[in-house]
Amino acid sequence: MFTKQQTQIIGEIARLVRASASSHPHVNDAVWQRLADLVTELQRSSPSAPPSDALDAERLRATIQHVDASVAYLDPEFNFVYANPTYVAGCGHTLDELLGRNHFDLFPNAENQAIFERVRDTGEPAIFAAKPFVYADQPERGVTYWNWTLVPDHDADGRLRGLIFSLQDVTAQERGRAATQRYLERMNRLIDVSKQVMAATTSHELMQRVVDAACALTGARIGAGGYGLCDGRCQLTVTAHADDHSPSPVDDVFALGRGGEHVALMTDAVSLRLSEAEVQLHPIWGRLVKGGHPLRGLLSARLTDVTGQAVGLIVLTDKAEGALDAEDEALLVHLATIASLGLQHIAQRAEAEHHANEMAATFAALADAVVVLDAQGNITWANPAATALFGRDVVRTDRTDLARRLDTRDAEGRPIPFSQLPSSRLLRGELISKERVAFTNSDGERRVAIVSATPLWIEGEPVGGVATWHDMTEREALLDRLSLEQTRLQTIIDNVPQGIIVADAAANTIMINPSVRALSRHPEDETITAEPTLYGPDGTVCRWEDRPLTRSALYGEMLHDVEMTLRWPDGAQRHLLVNSVPIRDAASRLTGGVAAIQDISERKSAELSLRRYADEQAALYAVSSAIASWTDPDRLLSTVLEVVLPILDAEVGWVLLPGATPEDPPRVGASRGLSAEFIAATEAEPLADCVACAALLRDVDVDLEPQYAENCPRLSREVLAASGLHSHVVIPLKTSERVLGILNVGWREPHAYGPAERALADAIGRQVGLALYNAQLFQEARQVDRLRALGELDQELATTLESAQVHAVGLRHMMSVLRASAGALLTVPSCDGDTPTEVLAADTGAWSPWRAERDAAASARTLIARARRARDPFLISGTEAAAIAPCGGAAQWGATALATPVQGSDGALAVILTGHESSRPFGDEDLRVARAVALRLAQAGENARLYEAVRQQRQQVRILAARLSQAEEAERQRIARELHDRVGQDLTALSFNLSIVGTLLPRDTEDSIMARLRDSMRLVEQTTKDIRNIMAELRPLVLDDYGLVAGLQWYATEFGRRMGIRTCVEGQEPDPRLESSIETALFRVAQEALTNVVKHAQASHVTISVATHKDRVRLVVADDGVGFDPSAIRGPKGDSGWGLFSMAERIEAVGGHCIVDSAPNCGTRIVAEVNR
């Protein structure tokens, strides 16, 4: 059980804990000090309290459980043993997470840990007020402030059982106290600034003080202010900057020179606060900042006048610490309000001084005499006009004496009694208004004045008054002059060129001058007396109550520059410019009106001419723009009709062009809204009395007058009725040299055709004529270019003998001559094929197999079928072409593509597709050119096919020739072997037998027998040599045994010996040795060349050379003979020319080629080359 003293102490502790949570921050220190004392007293009052008393512990726990403070119990190692709900709720952990855990594992803080250890080791409690703490795991909470106590708990023996840790979160109180302190400091400084501001005597001084104070109070390092808008600019600007910032011109940072744009931002807001990023994105601030000093945020507040309108602003930026916040914004608004009040005060003070000075100056400058009287009637103040009027200074003058001196009389000349003088009545409180009096001033001059006076009242009693004396002396003298001036004015009115009409208050005419009468007469025939009708600006009849003079006289309206029209029944008219103003009397009452009328018919005519000229130029521009890009004459003329007909408000039109020759009938180049019968009738033979024919064929000038259709000699009544044509205009399309065509523009209804339309038609004719001339020149030039291109195509196709190359050349030239941006060539090799097999792309120049999607395949079959039927070029859609031939992008094909079939005699088909990226349509000329290219490609394809057949046939002939040569060589070799093996051996045996016979004959044998025997032996020997030569001619054995060079050396030696021509062989034997067929072919070429030398060359020296280079072997036979022209030999003819042909055939049979290089008197070289 707690003792009574302990119970009281615990109750006091609980009260103080609750008080600490709700008390003002400034008293928390005292509360917590008292709490610490009570805890210590509690410890001292219970040294013998049994620690195990469960009831006491439970009561203590219940007490702590319900207090508002955060209380925890820790063991000596700072592990949590207990924590009340308030502690658990504020620490960010559950009770289970706390119990048994070390305090500094959960809330690490070296400083606090040292405090805990000191309390544990010394036994002295620790008490802190508003101690800062930062949660390591909750940095977003920032710095928090806590009142806390740490009290050691000892047992009866004085041993430490644990620590009682009590906390109270006073973060809000501390922050509020700091904010309050800052607010009070700012308010004190704001009060000081207010005093300084209100003490300023000039606007510049006030603005400078406010901007300096704003920078000082908010911490901004740069500030500026602008005040007094005029023409969108601040008339007064000031700046402020920190010492470490160099001063910048105001316009460089805030552009206050254009302050109107800034103040416009403040129209709906008292202030504006932007972050640095928002400044850059702001539509006006971001544009006005010129980049001199980067703005780190921006804060501005507007300055207002007494009506609340923005007249200036204060701008701050570049805060030294942190960003400009809401407190800064509120402070700047206060400063702006103070500045606005100060500026208003300065302005009002200046205005009051100005008004006082102005009032004095006004009274001094008044022409009327003004005097101020006091309650006794004495004059206390008088302006200079009063001194001049009365002839003396009347201030402080006795009123009675003054009245006597002035001899004041009324309008009838009767003296005015003193009691009835204006001054006397004024003192009685009467209001005097415009009373006429006459008096004599001190200078003896008789004066007349109108007197008005107003009494001054104080508490219902008159205390004086103010009287004005308007000198009418000169006015009465002027009345006579006025009559004279009126006479003069009437004379002027009667003679001014403008009409003048004066009306009374009922809008009845009371005066008109002669000019009005002249304006109302007929402008062309003055004898016409019919009355004109007045029309208003909207073209309708102007009612009497709507006329300018009526509105001015009745309603006081001022009407300026009202354009009206007087129109006579015969159509004549005048254009009038009316100005009318009301006439008012001195009381501003309407007394009538006056109107000035000016004849502006000439000006309106000039404006109409100018408008017509502008319309003409606009129409010509429209025509020029429409036809500028056309170079096809027919399409140009169609476009002309589309544009010109709406301009001339016509329904039909046609263009007549001359025939090919002067004898040919004209033709219609383009038409619109007409039937075929009408066109056919128009294209009839030229007629002598036809206006269009005369202009077109004889270049006769045509008057651009409407030609009525019923008078046209070309048109029958039936054709005329069918067309519905009423009239038309013949417009020559001409240049400076000749008429190129006739533009006919027609109407089905009667049409007003005036001078403006004639001028426009003539200008259109010249413009279209020039465009047509240029288009014709372009077509002629283009035709020349196309003929040149076709010529180049013919030249290139003449040297092209392969089908694929023919197609490639044709596609390239088709693209060039049509100026196409996309193209492809599809091939169908057989006559029964319905889909392409290959496609050649123009952009890559490469062949590829044709493949397409299902829809494209169907389109391709349709295209092939149409191409086989049409044979001539035809148009397809660009989309379809792009799908069939996917070459390049779909946009490159344009809206329309051109398909050109190329038919072969064998049934093969090729289709060339071309397209324009600019969607320019293909014209008739394009189709004609495409047809010409297709015909050339078909012929070139046929030539390539025939060439291929001849080439294959020649190849077969070469193969047969090679086989024949092999057979011939084999036969030669067999015959040579037979001659060697049989005939040669028989001749040798015969020679031996004859020799034996010679030795066996007796010595006395007759000489005739011996002579015959010797002749036989010589014959056998010669026959043996001949057989050997024949064997060498058939097949030299040395060629088979030793190779080409050895065979050539043997043959050259024999040739030189037989023919007496010096022959030498140069070169080495190829290694490895050549094939037998190649050796034989080269040997036969050399053999045939030497034979030609004997027959034709008349040479004295022949050189045979054999050279090997890489895989090529070259044989050259050169002589120094008479030479010849190889181009003159077209091939074998009769018995001549077969040698060269056989050489070429032999060498080509083994895969080589033979060249003949010769010229008259330059010798001959036979060159044969073959691969190893």
Average pLDDT over residues 164-176: 82
Backbone angles phi, psi at 853, to 5 degrees: -70, 175
DSSP H helix total and E strand total for the chain:
36, 37
Residue type, 507: A
Looking at residue 178, its pLDDT comes to 76
State the DSSP code for 1134. Answer: T
Average pLDDT over residues 933-957: 75
Whose structure tokens read 């960003």?
323
What confidence tier does 1166 reach under pLDDT thresholds 50, 70, 90?
Answer: very high
Better pLDDT: 555 or 294 = 555
Residue 302, pLDDT above cutoff 60: yes
Sign of CA dihedral 731, 732, 734, 740: positive
Looking at per-residue pLDDT, the higher value among 1155 and 949 belongs to 1155
Task: pLDDT band for 593, please (50, 70, 90 cuts).
Answer: very high
DSSP state of 322: S
Tell me if 564 sits within 8 A of 597, measured CB to CB. Answer: no
The secondary element (H helix, E strand) that includes residue 760 is helix 755-798
Non-local (6+) Cβ contacts of 396 within 8 A are: 378, 379, 380
Q: Is the pLDDT of residue 756 over 70?
A: yes
pLDDT band at residue 28 under the 50/70/90 scheme? very low
Q: Which residues pair with 313 in a beta bridge?
A: 226, 302
Q: Give the pLDDT band (50/70/90) at residue 966.
A: low
Cα four-point dihedral sign 697, 700, 704, 708: negative
Is there a cis peptide before residue 85, judged by omega within 30 degrees of 0?
no
pLDDT tens-place string over residues 270-292: 888 888 778 777 766 666 555 55
Joined together, the tokens standing for residue 1062 give 């010096």
Q: What whole-number distance in Å separates Cα of residue 1156 and Cα of residue 1167?
A: 6
DSSP label of 1126: G
Q: pLDDT band at residue 958, thresholds of 50, 70 and 90?
A: low
Q: What is the pLDDT of residue 12?
A: 57
Please tell me which residue, 387 or 905, carries the higher pLDDT value. Answer: 387
Joined together, the tokens standing for residue 32 give 């917590």
pLDDT of 285: 67
Q: Which two tokens stand for residue 365?
A: 């400058």
Contact of 775 with 803, CB cutoff 8 Å: no
pLDDT value, residue 252: 47
Please report, in angstroms and rounded to a whole number, the separation of the first and last CA atoms in the chain.
131
Burial 571-606 (b: 16+ CB within 10 A, else e): eebbbbbbbbbbbeeeeeebebbbbbbbbbeeebee
* DSSP secondary structure, 504-561, as one string: ETT--EEEE-HHHHHHTS-SS-TT--PPPEEE-TTSSBPPGGGSHHHHHHHH---EEE
Check whether 250 has a pLDDT greater than 90: no
Range 678-693 average pLDDT: 64
What's at 1126, amino acid-wise? P
Edge-first strand order for the sheet with 822-828 is 847-849, 838-841, 822-828, 909-915, 896-903, 874-877
The residues facing 596 across adjacent strands are 500, 579
Tell the residue number behind the tokens 């294959």, with chain if given: 952
pLDDT-derived band of residue 1170, with 50, 70 and 90 as boundaries? very high
At 706, is the pLDDT very low, low, confident or very high (cuts 50, 70, 90)? low
* Rounded-to-integer distance, Cα 767 and Cα 640, Å: 11
Give the rounded percent of residues in the chain with a pLDDT score beyond 70.
Answer: 81
Distances (CA, A) of 1160 to 94, 1102, 1138: 122, 17, 20
- Alpha-carbon torsion angle 461, 464, 470, 472, nearest 10: 90
Whether residue 194 is predicted with pLDDT greater than 50 in this model: the reply is yes
Q: Higher confidence at residue 65 or residue 507? A: 507
Give residue 13's pLDDT band: very low, low, confident or very high (50, 70, 90): low
Most distant CA pair in the chain, distance: 223
Length of the chain: 1172
Residue 1072: CB atoms within 10 A of its CB come to 7
Whether residue 708 is predicted with pLDDT greater than 60 in this model: the reply is no
> Looking up tokens 């001063």, which residue turns up?
247
Q: What is the DSSP letter of 1073?
A: P
For residue 769, give the amino acid letter. Answer: G
* Structural domains of the chain sorted by starting position, each given as residue range(s) with its CATH number in brackets: 4-169 (3.30.450.20), 178-349 (3.30.450.40), 363-477 (3.30.450.20), 498-599 (3.30.450.20), 608-781 (3.30.450.40), 801-955 (3.30.450.40), 1038-1172 (3.30.565.10)
* Cα distance between residue 903 and residue 945, in whole Å: 13
- Rounded to an integer, what distance in angstroms lies between the CA atom of residue 628 and that of residue 642? 14
Most confident stretch, 200-209, 465-474, 532-541 = 532-541
**Residues ≥6 apart with Cβ < 8 Å to 628:** 771
pLDDT at 52: 43
C-alpha closest to that of 53 among 155, 144, 122, 125: 155
DSSP type of residue 921: P
More confident residue, 635 or 1133: 635
CA-CA distances (angstroms) from residue 587 to 90, 178, 583, 584, 591?
85, 70, 11, 7, 10
In angstroms, the CA 472 to CA 1057 distance is 163
pLDDT(651) > 50: yes
The span from the CA of 238 to the CA of 205, in Å, is 9
CA dist., res. 846 & res. 829, Å (int): 18
> DSSP characters for 413-474?
SPBPPGGGSHHHHHHTT--EEEEEEEEE-TTS-EEEEEEEEEEEEETTEEEEEEEEEEE-HH
Distance CA 417, CA 412 (A): 14
C-alpha to C-alpha distance for 709 and 751, rounded to whole angstroms: 13
Query: At residue 970, does pLDDT exceed 90?
Result: no
> CA torsion, points 855, 857, 862, 863, in degrees to nearest 10?
110
pLDDT value for 1107: 92
pLDDT digits (tens, 9 = 90+) for 768-814: 888 888 877 777 777 777 777 777 777 777 777 777 888 888 888 88
C-alpha to C-alpha distance for 1074 and 1172, rounded to whole angstroms: 6
Describe the chain by its helix, strand, coil percentages, rounded to 5. 50, 25, 25
Q: Is 1141 in contact with 1118 (CB distance < 8 Å)?
A: no
For residue 1026, CA distances in Å to 528, 802, 901, 1032, 1041 come to 143, 53, 70, 10, 21
Percentage of residues in the chain having pLDDT higher than 90: 9
Bigger pLDDT: 662 or 598?
Answer: 598
Which whole-number Å values give the CA distances from 71 to 21, 62, 169, 435, in the listed order? 14, 12, 12, 100
- pLDDT confidence bin for 254, thresholds 50/70/90: low
Contact of 80 with 99, CB cutoff 8 Å: yes
Looking at residue 1075, the DSSP 8-state letter turns out to be: P
Q: Is the pLDDT assigned to residue 748 strictly greater than 90?
A: no
The segment with the largest mean pLDDT, out of 42-46, 432-436, 781-785, is: 432-436
Q: How confident is the model at residue 8 (pLDDT cuts 50, 70, 90)?
A: low
What pairing do the DSSP bridges indicate for beta strands 1101-1109 and 1062-1067? parallel
Model confidence pLDDT, tens digit, residues 317-336:
888 787 888 888 888 888 88
d(CA 126, CA 136): 23
Decide: helix, strand or coil at residue 398.
Answer: coil
Mean pLDDT over all residues of the chain? 79
Among the listed residues 532, 613, 608, the one whose alpha carbon sits nearest the alpha carbon of residue 573: 532
Closest-CA residue to 258 (of 223, 226, 302): 226
In three-state secondary structure terms, 1129 is coil
Residue 251: pLDDT over 50: no
